[in-house]
Amino acid sequence: MQTVAFWILLLLFVGAFAAQVARRVQLVAAAPNTFSLDRLGFRTSRFLLDVVLQRRTIRERPLAGLMHAFVFWGFVAFAGYTLVEFLYGLGLVDLTHARWFHAYRIALTPFATLVLLGIVYLLIRRVFVRPPGLGPKLSLESVVIGLFIATLMITFLLTFQLVEGTLAAHINWWVHALVILVFMALIPSSKHLHLVLSPITVFLKSPELGNLANLDFEKEQVGLETVKDLGSKSVLDAFTCVECGRCQVNCPAWGAGKELNPKTIILQTQDALLAGERERKLGEVYSEKVLWQCTTCGACENQCPVGIEHLPILIGSRRGLVSNGDAPDYLGAMYNNLERRSNIWGLGYDQRTKFVQSAALETFDPAKHDVLVWLGCAGSFDADFQKSLRALFGILLARKVKFGVLSKERCTGDPAKRTGNEYMYQELAKANIADLEAAGPKKILTSCPHCVKTIGDDYKKFGYQVEIVHSSVYIEELTRDLVRGAKADPLQSAKASAERSNGHETVTFHDPCYLGRYAGKVDEPRALLTRFGATITEPERNRDNPFCCGAGGGLLFADKEEEPGSRISDVRFKQLQATGANTVVTACPFCSIMLKGAQASAQADTQFVDLMTFVKDRL
Amino acid sequence: MILVIAEQRDGKLNRATWETIAAAQQLAAATSGPITVVVPGAGVQTVAKELAAAEVKEVVTVENPALEPYTPDGFTAALQAAITELAATHVLLPHTYQTRDFAPKLAARMDRALLTDVTGIRSAGADTAFVRPMFQGKLTADVVPQGPAPHFVTFQIGAYRADQAAKGASPAPMRALTVAVDAAAIREKPEPPFQQAKQAVDLSQAERIVSVGRGIKEQANIALAQKLAEALGAEIAASRPICDAGWLPMERQVGSSGQTVAPKLYLALGISGAIQHLVGMKGASTIVAINKDPDAPIFEVADYGIVGDLFEIVPAIIEAVKQ
């Protein structure tokens, strides 16, 4: 009788689960295929770290993350137990009296205790602490699921107390089994679908942050215009979102009080997909204004514990807007500059030539030079940043590095790419690649992290492979022997130590998003700073999760678009000021522009120094 | 016969017409042809009288109710008739938006050469060449129009100076030319001109700008810069921190996040010259920078630079200007 009842209930609930999952599988299958499985080794190790060891879940929120890990590990540990009990309930095979099963059950008790501890902590956090990332509204469903999990653990632990065969034991078994069945049926339509999907999405997530395929204009691709254009990985992502809000609280736009909330973007995607709004314009689903607030800093994507990629949606939608002529005015002006003068400022290249001549730079020749220095838009035109480049050249000369520059450069196309002007990006990229291939450098050195990303990662999609390093990384390696080597020369050593004691200073370092987060280079700049006598006080948000300066994604040109909220650069500047250090060291021309602007507006006397200038002055 | 097509709206002359008359006078000197100013429209007597002060052979009004308001069809029909009637060798126009609208159509209708955005006239052997920018201003070309007369030439605004147009000893004779315009054949039905809500201050039109940066130190010191601006007849502008601080309104901000300006004189007081500011004023003809930091990037673009204390230098300049 009970066996028949259990059969019926199981089929009913499994059916409910399958029907809901099938709907989502159909939506994923209907989307253009964007799944990729390159770099399997990297994906496997990331899977072990982020899924099995819960690295990303724990890293940002250690306590809550650990509690979640307890629940997760407990679920995995309980898989065999549930299977045996269900096989018994279905009358198929009774393994519940096997000797090993008894040992297994005893081994499960610490797991159950930890799951119970974890879920009670998480429930208290959700219901009473209510961190902003979880949203303003208490999710009742999450509370129910939390109570379910607690019930499962309690009913499991009760099996040790109850005598088998008694009515109480029967009821206990049924409560446990029913909770599992109802839980299963609730999963697909809730954020708990991440239990099933997140191992898959983590594995499928691109190894490269902010990875977007080039548009193929031959195939008349124009970017994402409507819901049906969203790629299969984006659709899968939408159903995986666990609504933890890590993307939200790390988003600089959200942090500065703008409307953009990366979590909302994913949930809006989910809603639009489930509502079957295939033809709805993405500019409507998310609102155009919101789409232009993204600095492409990558914090959302990088912090997401379940492998969601936000940037392909945000930049992809921008591509769709630009293709339809719906870019904001400030971008129109910038695009004109890129089109007419191949640089973001719209200045004439005679200015770059003047700088190249005044710094006595040689035109790159692979037979003569070790490394090609890429100046970039800032290096070519911004007199302020050119000081930093002169410092870099000084270090290279002092260390006897032979270097040259291209006779002609264009913008790498970074601002065009991140704002969705793919056509212009490809024009610039192809022309630069042709020049670089003709020049034939083995190694490129640049002080612009955006150029590192674009030339190093994005140009690969055109088949151009080159080693490109940021100056912080290159100079760190180049000056490694300096402190030790100084001992050989007592005069230099004395001078160096005297300078170190006099010039000992406390600085704070602002990690550029495209260096710290995208390229993962966080130790090299710090090694340089300490090597040359600085003590670093870290700002809030640092290393591979910095708070953006506000320049990325074309927003350098939208400085006055401050409504609502404040300027991202002002928010970051305050964080840097709060370290108490009077010197802020930067390593990206655009961070420098934004933060100096914020400093000037704040009427503060904070000193800004570029990393290369800092090193050169203390060499 | 050199024709100058005058432009007016609501009985008010577009000053660029004077620039075109100055150009026509240079062309006349080279080709020794007489100049006739044609004023198309309806109710253009006042404008025609104003133009009669110029040293030209005559001023011809081409009036027809169908020419008010302006339509490309109406102007093309009326001007084609007038140009044919007056046997023109050259038709000169200011390179305004209105000209850009109808001149190509008119030239194509008459199957004659049209040279646009011309900045100068030069003799090229027996021919007269017109100088015009090419490839986004990277090159200038001397162009000699081919084919039968008349040749249409439009002149870039500001290429000739309006005050250089020679005035006649006595007013030039005026006459009216009647042309038939079939109102029914005009396909365009213009709506009232749309005027974009203008910023209260349009710095882009200012001839002289005094711009202040953080070197001004205090809000009270803005008055000093304002005095200098008054003495020079200049508009006052600022870099971002000044407007952020509310010392001057946001609409006076120059730079990539403010207005883009191209005055004849840009006086930068205590502006360091961050690149976002520089891109907003790079079009200025003459840049004068006063800054106490000799390494300030503003000196990279300045035509004249003074390294020193602006609180000493500015009063001295005000004095000098007043004398």
What would the DSSP string read from start to end of A321-347? HHHTT---HHHHHHHHHHHHHSSTT--
Burial (CB count <10 Å: 0-12, 13-18, 19+), residue B144:
middle
Tokens (6 digits) for B57: 């052979």
Residues of A within an 8 Å Cβ radius of B: 330, 340, 345-347, 378, 381-385, 387, 556-560, 593, 596-597, 600-601, 603
Query: CB distance B257–A557 less than 8 Å?
Result: yes
pLDDT of residue A492: 53
- Confidence class of residue B157 from pLDDT cuts 50, 70 and 90? confident
Strands B139-143 and B127-134: antiparallel
Question: Residue B195 falls within a domain, yes or no?
Answer: no
| Cα–Cα distance measured from residue A142 to residue A135, given in angstroms and rounded to the nearest whole number | 12
| Residue A345 distance to chain B (closest CA, Å) | 6
Radius of gyration of chain B (CA): 24
Question: Strand B12-13 and strand B8-9: pairing?
Answer: antiparallel
B294 burial (CB, 10 Å; 0-12 / 13-18 / 19+) is: exposed
Chain A neighbors of B276, CB-CB under 8 A: 556, 559, 593, 597
Instruction: Assess whether the previous peptide bond of B297 is cis (omega < 30° from 0).
Output: no
pLDDT computed for residue A327 by the predictor = 92
- B136, B239, B274: residue with CB nearest A340: B136
CB A553 within 8 A of CB A559: no
Amino acid at A211: N
Q: Which residue of A has its CA nearest to B216?
A: A603
Backbone angles phi, psi at A171, to 5 degrees: -60, -45
CATH of domain A342-476: 3.40.50.1860
Top residue of B221, B240, B244 to mutate, by most chain A CBs within 10 Å, is: B244
Residue in the structure block whose two tokens are 């007489």: B34
Whole-angstrom distance, CA of residue B76 vs CA of residue B83: 10
Same structural domain, B30 and B143: yes
Per the structure, the count of domains in chain B is 2
Same domain, B238 and B102: no
pLDDT exceeding 70 applies to what percent of chain B?
98
Q: How far is it, in rounded angstroms, from Cα A100 to Cα A91?
A: 20
User: Band of the pLDDT at B199, cuts 50, 70, 90?
Assistant: low
What does the domain layout of chain A look like in residue ranges? 2-30+61-186, 217-323, 342-476, 477-617
pLDDT on residue A487: 44
Residue of A nearest to B215 (CA): A600
Cα separation, A258 vs A252, in Å, equals 9
Considering only CA atoms, which of B88, B81, B75, B70 is closest in space to residue B24? Answer: B88
Q: Are residues B172 and B26 in the same domain?
A: yes
**Interface contacts A/B by beta carbons within 8 Å:** 56
Chain B closest-CA separation from residue A328 CA (Å): 13
Question: Within this chain, do residues B51 and B166 fall inside the same structural domain, yes or no?
Answer: yes
In chain A, what residues touch B258 (CB-CB under 8 Å)? 560
Contact B115, B152 (CB under 8 A): yes
Nearest CA-CA distance, residue A378 and chain B, Å: 9
**Block mean pLDDT (10 aa), chain A, length 619:** 93 96 97 95 97 95 96 96 96 94 96 97 95 90 95 96 94 96 95 96 96 94 96 98 96 96 98 97 96 97 97 98 92 92 90 94 96 96 94 96 96 97 97 96 97 97 97 96 56 50 79 98 96 95 96 85 82 96 96 93 91 94
Task: Please give the DSSP secondary-structure letter assigned to residue A367.
Answer: T
d(CA A479, CA A584): 22
In a mutagenesis test of the A interface, which of B221, B256, B277, B298 is the best target, namely the one with the most A β-carbons within 10 Å?
B256
> For residue A379, what is the nearest residue in chain B, using CA coordinates?
B275
Search chain B and give the residue with CA nearest A600: B241
User: Which residues in chain B have their CB less than 8 angstroms from residue A387's CB?
Assistant: 295
In single-letter form, the type of residue at position B145 comes to P
A346: nearest CB among B244, B250, B279: B279
A597: nearest CB among B245, B276, B282: B276
pLDDT reported for residue A561: 57
- Touching check for B257 and chain A: CB below 8 Å? yes
B126 and B79, same structural domain? yes
The reply to whether B111 touches chain A by the CB within 8 Å rule is no
Q: Predicted ipTM?
A: 0.78
Going by C-alpha positions, the residue among A421, A411, A407, A419 that lies closest to residue A338 is A411
Query: Which residues fall within 8 angstroms of residue A532, CB to CB, at 6 or more apart?
Result: A614, A615, A618, A619
A477-617 and A217-323 share a CATH fold: no
Pick the CATH number of A477-617 from 1.10.10, 1.10.150, 3.30.530, 3.40.50: 3.40.50
Subunit contact A597:B240, Cβ cutoff 8 A: yes
Q: If you measure CA to CA, which chain A residue comes closest to B299?
A: A383
Q: Which amino acid is at A597?
A: G
Q: List, in sequence order, every residue forming a beta bridge with B134; answer none if it has no partner.
A: B139
Q: What's the pLDDT score for residue B245?
A: 87
Nearest CA in chain B to A558: B257
* Residue A534: strand pairing partners: A505
Q: Are residues B16 and B155 in the same domain?
A: yes
Do B214 and A600 make contact, defined as CB atoms within 8 angstroms? Answer: yes
CA distances from A281 to A96, A270, A512 (A): 55, 14, 33
Question: Same domain for B152 and B223?
Answer: no
Nearest of B294, B249, B257, B308 to residue A597 by alpha carbon = B257
Cross-sheet strand order for the sheet of A403-404: A403-404, A371-374, A443-446, A467-470
Interchain pair A601, B244: CB under 8 A = yes
Q: Is residue B105 part of a domain?
A: yes
Distance CA A130, CA A496 (A): 53
- Helix/strand/coil (H, E, C) string of A384-404? HHHHHHHHHHHHHHHCCCCEE
CA A478 to chain centre: 30
For chain A, the distance separating the N- and C-terminal CA atoms, rounded to the nearest angstrom, is 85
Q: Please check the confidence at residue B66 and state whether its pLDDT lies above 50.
A: yes
Geometric angle at alpha carbon A556, from A553 and A557, rounded to 5°? 105
Question: Do B38 and B13 contact (CB within 8 A), yes or no?
Answer: no
Which of B126, B154, B185 lies at the terminal end of a domain, its last residue? Answer: B185
Place of tokens 């307890």: A70
Tell me the residue length of chain A.
619
Q: Are residues B160 and B226 in the same domain?
A: no
Which amino acid is it at B12?
K
CA A352 to chain centre: 34
Could you tell me if A535 and A582 are in contact, meaning their C-beta atoms sit under 8 angstroms apart? Answer: no
Judged by CB atoms closer than 8 Å, whether chains meet at A383 and B273 is answered as: yes
- The whole-number average pLDDT for the span B66-89 is 95
Residue B190 domain-assigned?
Answer: no
In a domain, B252, yes or no: yes
CB B180 within 8 A of CB B142: no
Instruction: Tell me the percentage of chain A whose pLDDT exceeds 90.
Output: 90
Same domain assignment for residues B94 and B169:
yes
Name the pTM for this structure: 0.82
DSSP-derived 3-state class of residue A6: helix
Scan for tokens 């006397």, then name that residue.
A605
* Cross-chain CB nearest to B275 (options A340, A345, A603): A345
What digits encode the pLDDT tens for the residues B166-176? 999 999 999 99
Q: What is the pLDDT of residues A125-160, one digit of tens each?
A: 999 999 999 989 999 999 999 999 999 999 999 999
3-state secondary structure (DSSP) of residue A544: coil
Report the pLDDT value the prediction gives residue B31, as an integer from 0 to 100: 84
Residue B202 pLDDT level (bands cut at 50, 70, 90): confident
Chain A nearest C-alpha distance from B97 (Å) = 20
Question: Could you report the per-residue pLDDT of A258-292, keeping only the tens digit for each?
Answer: 999 999 999 999 999 999 999 999 999 999 999 99
pLDDT of residue B244: 86
Instruction: Read off the CATH number of the domain in which B162 is found.
Output: 3.40.50.620
Supply the pLDDT for residue A485.
44
pLDDT classification of B196: cutoffs 50, 70, 90: low
Q: How many residues does chain B have?
A: 323
CB A537 within 8 A of CB A560: no
Angstrom distance (rounded) from CA A343 to CA A349: 9
Q: Is there a contact between A383 and B297 if contact means CB atoms under 8 Å apart?
A: yes
Across the interface, whether the CB atoms of B279 and A560 are under 8 A apart is answered: no
Q: How far is A375 from chain B (nearest CA, A)?
A: 16
Predicted confidence (pLDDT) per residue in B204-255, tens digit:
888 899 999 999 999 999 999 999 999 999 999 999 889 988 899 988 999 8
Nearest Cα of chain B lies from the Cα of A254 at a distance, in angstroms, of 21
Of A385, A560, A603, the CB nearest to B245: A603
Whether residue B250 and residue A557 make contact (CB cut-off 8 A), yes or no, is no
pLDDT, residue B123, reads 87
Helices (H), B159-261: 222-232, 240-244
Q: What is the CATH number of the domain that holds B207?
A: 3.40.50.1220
Task: Residue B94: give the domain boundaries.
Answer: 2-185
Residue pair B183/B41 in contact by the 8 Å Cβ criterion: no
- C-beta separation of A65 from A54 below 8 A: yes
Nearest to A409 by CA among A466, A338, A467: A338
Residues B15 and B91 in one domain: yes
E strands in B56-172: 58-63, 90-94, 114-118, 120-124, 127-134, 139-143, 151-155
The domain A217-323 is classified under which CATH number: 1.10.1060, 3.30.70, 1.10.3470, 1.20.144?
1.10.1060
Residues B28 and B159 in one domain: yes
What is the model's pLDDT at position A488?
A: 46
CA distance A555 to chain B (A): 10
Which residue of A342, A353, A556, A559 to mutate against B (max B Cβ within 10 Å)? A559
**3-state secondary structure (DSSP) of residue B143:** strand
B156 and B57 belong to one structural domain = yes
